[in-house]
Amino acid sequence: MADIILKCENLSKQYRLGTVGTGTLSHDINRWWYKVRGKKDPYLKIGDTNDQRKASESNYVWALKDINFEVQNGEVLGVIGKNGAGKSTLLKILSRVTSPTTGVIRTKGRIASLLEVGTGFHPEMTGRENIFLNGAILGMTKTEIKSKLEEIIEFSGCQKYIDTPVKRYSSGMRVRLAFAVAAFLEPDILVVDEVLAVGDVEFQKKAIGKMQDISSSDGRTVLFVSHNMAAVKNLCTRGIVLESGESIFEGSSEEAVNFYINRQSSLNTDNLLERTDRKGTGEIRFSKVELLNRQGNAVSELISGDYAKFRLHMVFNEKVNHKDLVFGLVIYDNNENKIADFYSDEMGITFHSIDSYVDLELPKLMLRGGSYYVVVVVQTAIRVVKQIDLLHHVLNFNVFSGDYWNVNRANRATNVALIDAKYLNQNTL
């Protein structure tokens, strides 16, 4: 028990959709009356779970529901889940940005959080002044901040602009400085949301390396939210998976990532019309997406270099001008990395007439061995882009390593797109 630095017991957070508070005077008075009598909030029994795929039947929604977990000193805990699963809400509660509706949080030591780009920065103050401001908010003395000042500035890479007001910083510069402050002022618990995605690749590597040093060398605790499954596997020692505001799995980081991937693969992709987690105006709705082989058969597995065809089935709810339509298909690997995208307007394709589907043909599948999923979108690009239908995880498929270059040698199974190319030299064999 002595090694536990953070403990959450029955943590829940409820919101009323579309309003602040309860939204009505009668509800507010009712809540107050229950509170002064020492009774539970009467509206806590009401509310939907936070499932974005289903239409809400209540004005109340549970962003988090009965979350329980413990974090040991020196652990790196990864929090995994789709958008809207409750990850950021959980971190905001842990960082005391917002309070829980029910439940208890027990912590030891100082918490530093990096939830949004430039959180806690004053735009009119310089980078150097904001370092002292953030340090003071974290409870550091001026002497402590001064002792770390040069390390923070050097790590952020903002030396040239450190005496310039932060309002003139790019979003990447702000997040680099904010991370440097949070990491180098030695918090007992460092809470990091997906903000590192704003930084460039070089800084992301530095940041992940620093978080590894914080946990392994300094023995401090890190809570890390990311959609990059590879980063979660490499950085975290343990993971929890959130879905619709509830914790549905807890285990090692690899187990948590594998559970999340398998969970996404099991989504119902047969009839996409039943999905409610889509975006768009709705004149067209995707009904099914298939992967076809050279023989025209629907498959879920292909070999790298094979012929492939994606067939996008749809229904038309309203009359639209087919010539204005732009179709897009995006391929992601199971670490949530975008591998390739295909947009019809970039290919110079104009659709004069569409019956019930369009095909995207790949004469040679450019994917290495691995597991992938597909995102589809249809939109108009006349003057202003208007999104008509957008759906994630419409199709999951596997690719086996193959002889892509026809040299009797299978390619490596890394999730990176292949491109037809050849090394040339005077002495090339």
Query: pLDDT tens digit string along 144-199?
Result: 889 989 999 998 888 999 999 999 998 788 888 888 887 787 778 888 887 666 66
Which residue type does 253 have? S
Q: What is the mean pLDDT of residues 361-365?
A: 92
Per-residue pLDDT band for 289 (boundaries 50, 70, 90) equals very high
Record the tokens describing residue 423, joined without a space.
């090394």
Q: Give the burial class of 284: count Cβ atoms within 10 A of its Cβ; 0-12 exposed, 13-18 middle, 19 or more buried.
A: buried
Residue 228 CA to residue 353 CA, distance in Å, equals: 39
pLDDT of residue 128: 94
Q: Please give the Cα distance from 111 to 8 (Å, whole number).
A: 15
Residue whose tokens read 């298909």 = 329
Amino acid in the structure at residue 330: V
Phi, psi of 38 (to 5 degrees): 75, 20
Q: Supply the pLDDT for residue 56.
A: 47
Read off the tokens for 63.
Answer: 């962003």
Could you state, in order of their start, the residue ranges of all structural domains in the chain?
4-264, 272-400
Report whether pLDDT(89) > 80.
Answer: yes
* Alpha-carbon dihedral sign for residues 18, 84, 30, 45: positive
- At residue 199, the pLDDT reads 61
Which class is 272-400 in CATH? Answer: mainly beta
| pLDDT the model gives residue 421 | 74
Question: Distance between CA 18 and CA 148 in Å, rounded?
Answer: 44
CB-based contacts of 76: which residues, under 8 Å, 6+ apart?
A: 211, 212, 215, 221, 222, 224, 235, 236, 237, 238
- What span, in angstroms and rounded, lies between the C-alpha atoms of 382 and 384? 6
Phi, psi of 116 (to 5 degrees): -140, 160
Q: State the CATH architecture for 4-264.
A: 3-Layer(aba) Sandwich (3.40)
Both tokens assigned to 174? 């702000």
Band the pLDDT of 21: cuts 50, 70, 90: low
Q: What is the largest CA-CA distance in the chain?
A: 89
pLDDT digits (tens, 9 = 90+) for 38-59: 776 666 655 555 554 444 455 6
